[in-house]
Amino acid sequence: LPPNAYPYTLAIKAYATGHSRDPERSESLLREMRRFGLAVSPAVYRSAIGAWTYVGGSECSNRAEKLLKEMRGERRNDGPDPAAYGMTIRALAESGGVGDVERAEALLSEWEEAGEGDDEKDEKGNMNGKPDEESYRAVVDALEKAGEEDRARQVFWRMQEL
């Protein structure tokens, strides 16, 4: 039988969210899907990203960011994926790693640019394609903790323009 995306999707979600959470295995299965030429949906990418962000720490947030970049590369015509961007930004902002706050802020800016002109709201009332308040707050908090009050204020005012 040829490989099928469905069992991979189930396994990736199980490793990403289950009792035996294993982000390494989740990402490994995603890569195996790609090797077999199977379509990797945004939901599968979000599961793998979520597994890394749940574990926390700088290395894990770096892995989440790498998966987000892969997802963007494969799905560049789909526009930004709010859940994937949000999880990755919050993970970077909270990790405390050297340069992670700056990368979180850069991803937030990238998301803003990618979502320009999209004025429709999703089911939660957030602007589709635009950063959510939680992501802005994570970056503001991280910048304040890093002693970057001016930059934190600038991000805060950008959030107010939503």
Per-residue pLDDT of 3-17, as tens digits, reads 788 999 999 999 988
Determine the Cα–Cα distance for residues 152 and 157; give it in Å rounded to an integer: 9
Beta-carbon contacts of 18 under 8 Å, excluding residues fewer than 6 positions away, are none
CA 124 to CA 59: how far, in whole Å?
Answer: 31
Whether the CA torsion 47, 50, 84, 64 is positive or negative: it is: negative
Q: Quick check: 47 pLDDT over 70?
A: yes
**What pLDDT does 117 receive?**
55
> Which amino acid, one-letter code, is at 104?
A
The mean-pLDDT minimum among 53-62, 103-112, 127-136 falls in: 127-136
